[in-house]
């Protein structure tokens, strides 16, 4: 005996273990009971081997603990891998849920029938709008394992990945959105306007940042946010620019006078070539709100802005026009520009001249 326990010889150890396991106790309870009666070397390992080899115990054992998460690899671009699943019935309808793996962009279709033919029809419409893809992940539903669905994907060179049976976590992206979708449907008081409420839910979901990507599905798939009624609260860029332009025009109207010229009206034209700064001409046509065509000679027509034209009177042999201190003189043959410095007796000034000028009062020191 060892510590008041019986030491069992090797030829009797199996018989003692079978008696100990007659009630099909677990490993922990068998070890506790054995330590109260007998002992031999490697007793604990022999008990463990016996329980693991018992077929009755293995048939009724619990499921093993969940394995570590193995996430799907994220595609480097949108619309390369889709996760699809059927949800429902809700409000008397079945729904086909499609989620893009990269952008998390969801598509939900109300299905009147869940056959492979209707599923192919929905996917064909998606391929038409967004293009073909590389992979589709689904469960083992009868629509997805049918020969018709398999042939449809083979013709479009799309790889079909099936999740493990009775393991929805493999297609976790679609399953998680199905839960979100079901939660939104439960908030609907009735099935009236189901498509309208479904569209409102999808618009909000697509414009909201996703917890995984920190970006909205619309931004990752389309490169922009979807316009909603909330955008009406913000001022539009075009309206803001237009208001500022009108404000600039209104501010300048107080300092500038509106000028216009008629056809065949004699004018002075700004010359950017060699020679005189201003030459005489005649308006030929008005080509825009503030632009004109001016004939300088029978074979020369210039296009000028209204700021580059000055009114000229044809009745006088010599016309004098002030423009910022510059006197424009013209006769029948050519145009001459001279600076008005001393002789201003015959020139009509644009600005009033003070008649009484008082001498300055100087400090007499």
The residue assigned the tokens 């308006």 is: 283
Give pLDDT, residue 316: 43
Q: What is the pTM of this model?
A: 0.57
The residue assigned the tokens 């079909």 is: 160
The residue assigned the tokens 């889709």 is: 82
Q: What is residue 256's three-state secondary structure?
A: coil
Alpha-carbon gap, residue 298 to 338, rounded angstroms: 27
Alpha-carbon gap, residue 203 to 222, rounded angstroms: 13
Secondary structure element (H or E) that encloses residue 167, with its range? none
Alpha-carbon gap, residue 340 to 349, rounded angstroms: 11
Give pLDDT, residue 326: 37
Give the contacts of 82 (CB within 8 A, at least 6 positions apart).
Answer: 98, 99, 100, 101, 133, 135, 136, 137
Alpha-carbon gap, residue 184 to 180, rounded angstroms: 6
Looking at residue 2, what DSSP letter applies? -
Alpha-carbon gap, residue 311 to 306, rounded angstroms: 10
Alpha-carbon gap, residue 86 to 98, rounded angstroms: 9
Strands 93-100 and 106-111: antiparallel
Secondary structure element (H or E) that encloses residue 29, with its range? helix 27-34
| pLDDT digits (tens), the chain, 365 positions | 445 788 888 888 888 888 888 888 888 888 888 888 888 898 899 988 888 888 888 887 777 767 676 677 888 899 999 999 998 787 788 999 999 999 999 999 999 899 999 999 999 999 999 999 999 999 999 999 999 999 999 999 999 999 888 877 888 888 889 888 888 877 766 556 888 888 888 999 999 998 888 999 999 999 998 988 887 777 777 777 777 777 776 666 656 677 889 999 999 999 998 888 999 999 999 999 899 999 998 889 999 999 899 998 875 444 433 333 333 333 333 333 333 334 433 444 555 666 677 788 877 76
């Amino acid at each position: 005996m060892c510590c008041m326990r019986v030491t069992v010889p090797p030829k009797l150890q199996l018989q003692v273990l079978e008696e100990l396991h007659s009630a099909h106790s677990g490993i922990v309870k068998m070890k506790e009971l054995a330590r109260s009666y007998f002992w031999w070397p490697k007793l604990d390992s022999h008990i463990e081997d016996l329980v693991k080899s018992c077929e009755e115990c293995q048939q009724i054992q619990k499921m093993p603990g969940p394995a570590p998460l193995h996430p799907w690899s994220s595609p480097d671009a949108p619309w390369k891998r889709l996760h699809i699943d059927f949800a429902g019935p809700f409000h008397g309808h079945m729904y086909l849920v499609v989620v893009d793996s990269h952008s998390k962009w969801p598509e939900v279709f109300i299905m009147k029938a869940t056959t492979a033919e209707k599923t192919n029809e929905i996917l064909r419409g998606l391929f038409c709008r967004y293009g073909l893809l590389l992979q589709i992940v689904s469960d083992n539903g009868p629509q997805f394992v049918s020969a018709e669905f398999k042939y449809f994907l083979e013709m479009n060179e799309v790889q079909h990945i099936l999740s493990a049976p009775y393991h929805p976590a493999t297609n976790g992206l679609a399953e998680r959105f199905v839960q979100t979708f079901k939660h939104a449907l439960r908030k609907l008081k009735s099935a009236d306007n189901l498509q309208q409420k479904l569209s409102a839910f999808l618009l909000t979901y697509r414009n909201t940042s996703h917890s995984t990507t920190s970006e909205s599905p619309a931004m990752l798939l389309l490169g922009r946010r979807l316009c909603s009624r909330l955008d009406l609260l913000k001022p539009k860029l075009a309206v803001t620019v237009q208001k500022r332009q009108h404000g600039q025009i209104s501010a300048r109207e107080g300092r500038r006078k509106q000028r216009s010229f008629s056809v065949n009206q004699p004018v002075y034209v700004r010359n950017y070539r060699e020679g005189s700064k201003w030459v005489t001409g005649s308006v030929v046509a008005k080509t825009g709100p503030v632009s004109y065509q001016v004939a300088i000679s029978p074979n020369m027509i210039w296009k000028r802005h209204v700021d580059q034209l000055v009114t000229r009177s044809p009745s006088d042999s010599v016309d004098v026009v002030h423009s910022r201190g510059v006197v424009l003189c013209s006769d029948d043959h050519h145009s001459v520009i001279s600076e008005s410095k001393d002789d201003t007796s015959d020139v009509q000034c644009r600005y009033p001249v003070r008649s009484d000028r008082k001498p300055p009062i100087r400090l007499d020191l």
